[in-house]
Amino acid sequence: MPITFDFTDKVVFITGAGSGIGRATAEAFAAAGADVAVTDTTDEPLRETARLVEAYGRRAFVALCDVTDGRSIEDAVTAAGDTLGPIDIAVNNAGIEQPPTPLAETSEDEFDRLMAVDLRGVFLSMKYEVLAMGERGGSIVNISSGAGVVGIKGQAAYAAAKHGILGMAKSAALDYAAQGIQINAICPGIIETPMMDRFSGGTPEGRARVIAQEPIGRMGTTEEIASAVLWLSSDLGGFAVGHALVVDGGQTIGIS
């Protein structure tokens, strides 16, 4: 029996939707019939994501939203709900990378910046999404990282934030499972995105260095992460609660 995703008339809210995994996830939900609220810190890339959503005949709602600012998230969640209808699914994807730096050389400001976006941003997003979903229930998928399940040299602050997402998601999943809000996380490996381009330097040598971490011998695609988000958010994924789904080409399974 073919298994297809059907999100017809569902409303999806995505942070960091102007690029990479967030944009691909918006497009995948639209292709499966959903209307999508796309949010990020800059307007122009969001307009392009909205165009991709609308190309599937679905409605897109664009909101500027900085996940470090609770008020900004609350406003975006409210405006999305007012325009598209109550939010059924939220994807907390916004994040920033840490240029490789040993712990003691990481400045206090840099640590705080990473925590503000990559950890506190997910806390604030979940907080206002849960409040908006209320008794209707829904699904929340948080984007962690391979750095959420193993340590990575030069990534102490980023890994702390990404490990933190998993503890927070598991705990919140227990808070709201009985209320019908299903909370999970995904841990992607090395994925071909603008973030990974910046991280690797985008040079053939830099790309080869990051691909060397991947037993599968290539980077993952944004669609390979988006499809995992769709599964977790679908009825078929309904029994996954507080799960950290590692989708990483084998990057974190052991020493090879």
Q: Which residues are known to be catalytic?
A: 158
Nearer to ligand NAD, 124 or 130 (CB): 124
Residue 199: how many other CB atoms lie within 10 Å:
19
Helix 43-54 with 20-31: angle, nearest 10 deg = 20
CA distance 94 to 40: 8
Q: Does 64 bind ligand NAD (CB under 6 A)?
A: no
In the complex, the smallest distance separating the C-beta of residue 197 from ligand NAD, rounded to whole angstroms, is 8
CA distance 209 to 199: 11
Q: Does 252 bind ligand NAD (CB under 6 A)?
A: no
In the complex, the smallest distance separating the C-beta of residue 195 from ligand NAD, rounded to whole angstroms, is 3
Nearer to ligand NAD, 39 or 182 (CB): 39
Q: Dihedral angle at the C-alpha atoms of 40, 237, 244, 62, nearest 10 degrees?
A: 0
Nearer to ligand NAD, 136 or 198 (CB): 198
The answer to whether 164 and 117 have CB atoms below 8 angstroms apart is no
- Cα 39 to chain center, whole Å? 12
Q: Does 249 bind ligand NAD (CB under 6 A)?
A: no
Q: Kindly identify the residues of this chain, within the stretch 132-191, that bind ligand NAD according to CB under 6 A.
A: 143, 145, 188, 190-191
Q: Does 233 bind ligand NAD (CB under 6 A)?
A: no
CA distance 60 to 231: 21
Q: Does 89 bind ligand NAD (CB under 6 A)?
A: no
Q: Does 227 bind ligand NAD (CB under 6 A)?
A: no
Q: Which of 5, 11, 13, 18 binds ligand NAD (CB under 6 A)?
A: 18
Q: Does 93 bind ligand NAD (CB under 6 A)?
A: yes
- Of the candidates 42, 37, 47, 20, the one whose C-alpha atom is nearest the C-alpha of residue 75 is 37
